[in-house]
Structure 1
Amino acid sequence: MAALFGLKSMTYWGNLTSLTWRCQKLAVTVFDQQKALKPLVCTTQKRQMSRVKRRHTRPPFWLPKTTRTPYPEDITPENEAFLSEVITKQYSSPLKSEPWERGLWNEKSTRCGVIARKLGIYPLWTKDGRRLLTTLLQVSDNHVIKYIPPEELTENDMKKKKRYREVGALIVGADSMDPRMVTKEYFSIFSTTGILPKKKLNKFLVTPNAKLAPGTPLYASHFQPGKYVDVAGVTIDRGFQGVMKRWGFKGMPASHGVTKSHRRGGNIGSGGEKARVLPGQKMPGHMGRERRVLRGLKVWRINTVHNVLWVQGPAIPGPTGAYVCIYDSILPHRKHTAESHPPFPTFFQDEQETDEELYDKNLHIFSQPSISFVEN
């Protein structure tokens, strides 16, 4: 063995082996001491490049299934009517417990948002004759499901974000569904609240003074005309598309020597020493199904009977009927003041009276005359 490694004698080899063993023992001892003092931490690398997958078409494995597979139970029409009556009586009063103490608004307060459905685009006109395109968003059957205090939210946060202020979370659900059609795991979320299971759930970060009791209904009057909101949603899923539709490329000429390359992207400029595809290169791929947030959209009109909001612009993400989240705008020049802050923590429509139609002061109301005659 000594001749194999070029050693002159076995004594040198034995000393080297002994020294190596002592170093390994010392390293193990130091590692054990450090392990006893500090727990083992697993770190993961996060890559900020365009080739990382940004959308997931399948839900995660740990997410409980919402609906179950129905099977024939051979229930008579009389029993079906009886079950529907029992469900109606059991969930007729959502707020089981007493209402919580309502906090007071301050400059650092953050209210809860609502979940709405996109209905379509509708034109409006201002008093000076300017035409506007707005999007109708209906706040459909929103209820508070659960309040998560700041301590519990920080403890269960998987990303371990460092927050610059103390915030909790409110779980809000929209559109009730038949409890007989949901799984037992999903129904357990609503069993303590006393409301019907919801089709859509979302979490909103709120300050402790803006918390709401589970079961509190939320309406479109949660906002006011003339105020500004942020709308978040998921864009339409276009599937796999080429560069002309996905990135707006001009394409190749339609004739004069072009053969089967009319809609191709052409050269990507990665020759020479680069010899690779640069990250972020515009190429064919999956288009759409991305989360987008539009900030600073003005609320022009509110219908408190059908809970519909007329929001500025036709570019709300998602198809017709898609769910979007609406919350107060976080833009610095659109924040609320002490003189003109919205209802806090929300507008309790069952306790306070309000008009059926609420308009912005600059919006033309078609039920009112547009021409006035003055006698000289």
Structure 2
Amino acid sequence: MQKGIIGKKMGMTQIFDENGKVVPVTVVEAGPCTVVQKKTVESDGYVAVQLGYGDISAKKVSKPAKGHFDKADVAPKRTLREFRLDDISAMNVGDILKADVFAVGDRIDVVGTSKGKGYAGAIKRWNQHRLRESHGTGPVARHAGSMGSCSTPSRVFKGKRLPGHLGAERVTIQNLKVVKVDAENNLIAIKGAIPGPKGSVVCISDSVKA
């Protein structure tokens, strides 16, 4: 059965496997998540389940959102995410999902929002090479190079790699491995790095490449 859960990135550390080899891991506080809504082909045209994570005061949610939570008889949640699963018959509105939905050895995909870097130049943003630090290329060597020919096409092509806003975008890391699950504290240790700063919300689901 396919699985999915919302969590919060706690940070990175390292653990040792049974052979004494060090494994770098990212610790995620996964859940508890509440099933807020079930979507079916008959009512919505597709099959999915909506999960809520993180309690929030009822004063801080809009009236439409409050009505949505009241209909499900669920306390207001700070974060709502949807997971398209093949079979949601075993889930019911109000059910609580915890970290133990995943087990050690599972292959997962993690979706998060990458760290925002602000306005960045072409070298940092696109790994471009600097210009020659000699006469004729100044006044700086780190700006973008040629913008294209003058007469044809007489414009800059769309998609040209130039300076601009870097980071703060949706990123998916695929086929990561679950190294450890602490069901009591709702913690999952994932091998390697995942997107986003500490405290950011991430979505964990079964890997599409497993």
Give the TM-score, by structure 1 length: 0.52
Conservation of the 8 A alpha-carbon contact between 1:190 and 1:197: yes
Conservation of the 8 A alpha-carbon contact between 1:112 and 1:210: no
Select the structure that is richer in helix.
Answer: 1
Q: Which amino acid aligns with 2:165?
A: H
Taking structure 1 as reference, are residues 230 and 128 closer, same or farther at Cα in structure 2, changes over 3 Å only?
same
Taking structure 1 as reference, are residues 127 and 251 closer, same or farther at Cα in structure 2, changes over 3 Å only?
same
Conservation of the 8 A alpha-carbon contact between 1:115 and 1:323: yes
- From the CA coordinates, give the structure whose radius of gyration is larger: 1
1:250-329 pair list within 5 angstroms: 250-253=129-132, 259-314=138-193, 316-329=194-207
1:237 aligned onto 2:128: no
Determine which of 1, 4, 9 is the counterpart of 1:118: 9
Q: Supply the distance in 2 between the matched residues of 1:278 and 1:121 (Cα, whole angstroms).
A: 41
Taking structure 1 as reference, are residues 210 and 270 closer, same or farther at Cα in structure 2, changes over 3 Å only?
farther
Match of 2:38 in 1: 147
Q: Supply the distance in 2 between the matched residues of 1:192 and 1:273 (Cα, whole angstroms).
A: 61
1:11-26 pair list within 5 angstroms: none
Structure 2 runs not aligned, ≥5 long: none
- Classify the secondary structure of the residue corresponding to 1:192: helix
- Classify the secondary structure of the residue corresponding to 1:185: helix
Post-superposition offset of 1:210: 4.1
Post-superposition offset of 1:240: 2.1
Higher relative contact order (CA 8 A, sep 6+): 2
Match of 1:137 in 2: 28
Conservation of the 8 A alpha-carbon contact between 1:170 and 1:211: no
Conservation of the 8 A alpha-carbon contact between 1:230 and 1:294: yes
Determine which of 152, 159, 175 is the counterpart of 2:54: 175
Conservation of the 8 A alpha-carbon contact between 1:116 and 1:326: yes
Which digits, 9 at most, give the CA deviation of each residue in 1:66-90, with x for residues without a partner?
xxxxxxxxxxxxxxxxxxxxxxxxx
Q: Which amino acid aligns with 2:105?
A: G
- Classify the secondary structure of the residue corresponding to 2:140: coil
- Classify the secondary structure of the residue corresponding to 2:202: strand
Most deviating of 176-185 and 138-147: 176-185
Conservation of the 8 A alpha-carbon contact between 2:148 and 2:155: no
Taking structure 1 as reference, are residues 127 and 268 closer, same or farther at Cα in structure 2, changes over 3 Å only?
farther
Count of residues in correspondence between the two structures? 210
Select the structure that is richer in strand.
Answer: 2
- Classify the secondary structure of the residue corresponding to 1:270: coil
Identity %: 29
Structure 1 runs not aligned, ≥5 long: 1-108, 155-166, 335-376
Q: Which amino acid aligns with 1:123?
A: Q
Taking structure 1 as reference, are residues 241 and 197 closer, same or farther at Cα in structure 2, changes over 3 Å only?
same
Q: Which amino acid aligns with 2:146?
A: N
1:50-69 pair list within 5 angstroms: none
Give the TM-score, by structure 2 length: 0.91
Conservation of the 8 A alpha-carbon contact between 2:34 and 2:97: yes
